[in-house]
Amino acid sequence: MARRVGWYPDAATFSTPARLHLSSVTRRLVDAILTVPADEAQLEQHAADLELLVARLEGAKFDDADAARALERSHDDYLPRSPLVGELNVVAPPFSWEFHDGRVRAHGVFSAAHEGPPGYVHGGWVALAFDEALGIANVASGNPGMTARLTVRYRRPTPLHVDLVMEAWADRVEGRRVHTIGRLMDGDTVTAEAEGMFVNIGAERALEYFGERPVSPEPTDPLP
């Protein structure tokens, strides 16, 4: 039987106005849970209300046809669910993305869901943001690949609830290896920088990693 990994219709079918609205409201809910004061009685009532809603959502049926379709999805179908750029992922920070000559420039805000040190973004979220942004820059430049190595230099704490800018671009290509650079900025201040090496693993290795081909029991180095 196909591996059950969730319901993955194509992005055009999945990203409907109603689902986007639900995700946007839920994103606000997550932020409110982490920031808004309330007494125990209020919280218990809110939890009971949400239990009813979640039970209705979980009642949707998932059959073998859905599972088979899950394994046929493309990278574009994943993007709406991405933890960084996914409009439908309720923990994804609301960033807007621009593409110019193979370079990526994103504007956005990290919220309470992304907090590490009080008032600042968790370093793990910064690393995730670079991993996604550098990968998108590779696609934009015509050099898609998987992350082989990612190095992040944290120059200053990155603040929450302020407008930030993230930039990324492919610096050079060496065969199947793509070297990509990025930076995160609060105004004119660079809060973090990243360098990544990505590799085009080819169709056969991609099938082994993500498709139905059996995976070797031994560790496999994706680098050429």
**Whether residue 120 sits in one domain with residue 101:** yes
Same domain, 74 and 118: no
In whole angstroms, give the CA distance from residue 223 to residue 149. 10
Are 97 and 206 in the same domain?
yes
Tell how many helices (H) and how many strands (E) occur in the chain.
Answer: 7, 6
- Enclosing domain of residue 67: 1-87
Whether 47 is covered by a domain: the verdict is: yes
How would residue 195 be classed by pLDDT, with cut points 50, 70 and 90?
Answer: very high
Confidence (pLDDT) at 78 = 72
pLDDT for residue 155 is more than 90: yes
Whether 28 and 43 map to the same domain: the answer is yes
Residues 109 and 200 in one domain: yes
C-alpha closest to that of 84 among 123, 118, 130: 130
Mean pLDDT, residues 99-111 taken together:
90
* pLDDT for the residue numbered 215: 47
Q: What is the CA radius of gyration of the chain?
A: 20
Tally of structural domains, the chain? 2
What number is the average pLDDT over the span 100-121? 92
Q: In terms of domains, do 159 and 59 share one?
A: no
Q: Are 110 and 84 in contact (CB under 8 A)?
A: no
Which of 37, 71, 87 finishes a domain? Answer: 87
Residues 66 and 98 in one domain: no
The alpha-helical segments, DSSP class H, found in 36-140 are 40-58, 64-70, 75-78, 123-140
Q: Which residue has the higher pLDDT, 64 or 92?
A: 92
Strands 189-199 and 146-154 turn out to be antiparallel
Q: What is the pLDDT of residues 18-38, one digit of tens each?
A: 988 999 999 999 999 999 898
- Of the residues 60, 87, 114, the one at which a domain ends: 87
Q: Tell me, yes or no, if the pTM score tops 0.85.
A: no
